[in-house]
Chain A
Amino acid sequence: MGKFYQYIDGYLQVELTGYGMERFLNLCMNKEFTLWEIVKGDDVYRFYISLKDFRELKPLLKKTETKIHILKKCGLPFFFYTYRKQKCFVLGMLLCLGFVYYMSLFIWDIHVSGSAYYTEDEIISYIKQAYIAPGTKIKDINSMELEEQLMEHFDEIAWISCEIKGTQLRITLTETIITNQVLVSNQPSDLVAAKDCDIVSVITRNGTPITKVNETVKKGDILISGTIHIYDDNNEVLETVYIPADGDVFGRVVYQYDDSFDMQYYEKQYSKKKRRTVLLKLWNKYYKLWNPKISYEHYDISKESYMEKLGKTFFLPFSLDIIEYKEYAPVRKEYTRQEALAKAKKRLDAKLDEFRQIGVEILENNVKIEVGNQICSASGTIVVKEKVGVPKNLQIVEEKPDE
């Protein structure tokens, strides 16, 4: 670190000649000047001295009848002195520093992490539109306010933190776990079937179970009733109570699965021909530096961005995008029997995965895959076990007492 400060302050290598050189050194020592790398030559001393101390040497030189010659000048003051005439250079350097500093006062990028239910784009576009457009001054941003606003707008956010790092606004959030919505209401209600199904199991928590296991129900049939009759000793209804029915009813539901695709398809065969252009992004506007003539019949467009940020967090308000146009020729191809089977199987597995993800148990899979000349089709039924009860509010009919 000492060397660094020496460089900032500036220092010199000098040569001392004359009569009382040792006396001169002792006087320097007494005046608390710092000398270093003192070398004795033939009747000369060579040493380094800081610029500040050098300016005060004159009386000492006179007293000891010695003379001093400067051999080398090092350090920042001399550097600036050398370039004092190149005004544009210095001005450019200062402007560049100023520009970098000025640009660091704004937000140039918004980064969202931890979202699953909401997409990142959804959150970012809301922030951009409602609160912060890129290019907002950092000091105008109130993280607390933004957090509150986001929490209010997006219901499923459980915890959120907004922080500003460099020129990037980082939003970290945690969402609430989305469960099968259980409507707990105090309204008297029945539990009715959401789908046509065979009942597999009934667990009643509240209400009168109407269905039995293995019974076939239609959509809308009451599974657990919210009406409870209280009987007296003579088996006559003494009182009727209406409550919100609650329970878990699982049913065996049959889904029809139909899927087909053409045996013929097109594949892209890229030729080696390609064209490029550079897109300059300044703030939020794009400028095409040149417009290449694309004479290809079929082509792909790909984009790659450069110079978006300095380091990890310093996002710049400009970037270069290289756009590439790649020519290809569409080639007509046909699936082989194996390929078609594999593809159909893959699609079916994706569908089954969808079921599994929402917590549905798959009981039977009766899908048959047929490979024809033109079309490969898969059709059949998938039998699953799932929760079928949904609450439906009770229409209470006031019974008129018999006359």
Chain B
Amino acid sequence: MSDYDSYKQNFIQKMQLPQDVFEGATMISLVGRHEVTVENYKALLDYSDTQIRLQGKRDVICILGDHLEIYYFTNADMKIVGNIDTISYV
């Protein structure tokens, strides 16, 4: 992390600014166990009915489960339905 980046992150945290807007952080909202909406992602890396990998700005997000299905898929957000077991950052 460069000096500029750490300074910027520090500033955003101190000022309590929303990270998704100023840093482009990925937003994941989970509704129950069966529905997850992901915003601010960059690309879909891998998709099968047990695993979905998404490229965020810095990290790769990995969603594991079964009967996973992408309900809709646009430039801004995506909604995944299915039985979700784990959400992890790789």
Binding site for B on A (CB under 8 A): 22, 25-26, 28-30, 32, 34-40, 45, 47
Asked if residues A37 and B43 are in contact (CB atoms below 8 Å), the reply is: no
Q: In whole Å, how far is A45's beta carbon from the nearest beta carbon of chain B? A: 7
When C-beta atoms are compared, the residue in chain B nearest to A32 turns out to be: B75
Quick check: A35 and B45 within 8 Å, CB to CB? no
Partner of B72, one of A26, A32, A36: A36
Name 15 interchain pairs, CB-CB below 8 A, sorted by A: A22-B43, A22-B47, A26-B43, A26-B44, A29-B43, A32-B74, A32-B75, A34-B72, A35-B70, A36-B71, A38-B47, A39-B49, A40-B49, A40-B69, A47-B70
Interface pairs A-B: 3 shortest CB-CB: A38-B70, A36-B72, A26-B43
> Inside 8 A of B73's CB, which chain A residues have their CB?
25, 28-29, 34-36, 38, 47
Q: Inside 8 A of A30's CB, which chain B residues have their CB? A: 75
Q: Is B75 within 8 A of A45, CB to CB?
A: no
Contacts of A35 in B (CB 8 A): 70, 72-74
Q: Which residues of B contact A (CB under 8 A)?
A: 43-49, 69-75
Q: Given that A25-B44, A26-B44 are known contacts, is A39 also in contact with B69, CB under 8 Å in the complex?
A: yes
Note all chain A residues with C-beta closer than 8 A to B44: 22, 25-26, 29
Complex CA distance for A288 and B74, rounded to whole angstroms:
64
Residues of B within 8 A of A45 (CB): 47
A28: which B residues are within 8 A, CB to CB? 73
Say whether chain B's binding surface is mostly helix, strand, loop, or mixed: strand
A41 to chain B, nearest CB (A): 9
With both chains docked as a complex, state the minimum distance between the C-beta of A52 and any C-beta of chain B, in angstroms.
Answer: 15
Do B69 and A38 touch across chains, with their CB atoms under 8 A apart?
yes
- Distance to closest chain B CB from A204 (angstroms): 91
B74 touches A29 (CB 8 A): yes
B46 (CB) vs chain A CBs: closest residue:
A22
Judge whether B75 and A29 touch: CB under 8 Å: yes
Q: State A22–B48 Cα separation when bound (angstroms).
A: 11
Q: A29–B75 Cα gap in the complex (Å)?
A: 5
Q: Which of A25, A32, A34, A37 contacts B47 (CB under 8 A)?
A: A25
A137 to B3, CA, bound (A): 80
Q: Which residue of A lies closest to B53 (CB)?
A: A22
Give the complex CA separation of A137 and B32 in angstroms. 61
Distance from A290 Cβ to chain B, minimum over Cβ atoms (Å): 61
Complex: A39 Cα to B70 Cα, angstroms: 7
A56 to chain B, nearest CB (A): 15
Q: Which residue of B lies closest to A24 (CB)?
A: B44
Residue of B45, B71, B72, B75 touching A22 (CB-CB under 8 A): B45
Closest-CB distance, B13 to chain A (whole angstroms): 30
Are the C-beta atoms of A40 and B74 separated by less than 8 Å? no
Q: In chain B, what residue has the closest Cβ to A26?
A: B43
List 20 extra interface pairs beyond A22-B46, A25-B44, CB under 8 A.
Answer: A22-B43, A22-B44, A22-B47, A26-B43, A26-B44, A29-B44, A30-B75, A32-B74, A35-B70, A35-B72, A35-B73, A36-B72, A37-B72, A38-B47, A38-B71, A38-B73, A40-B47, A40-B48, A45-B47, A47-B70
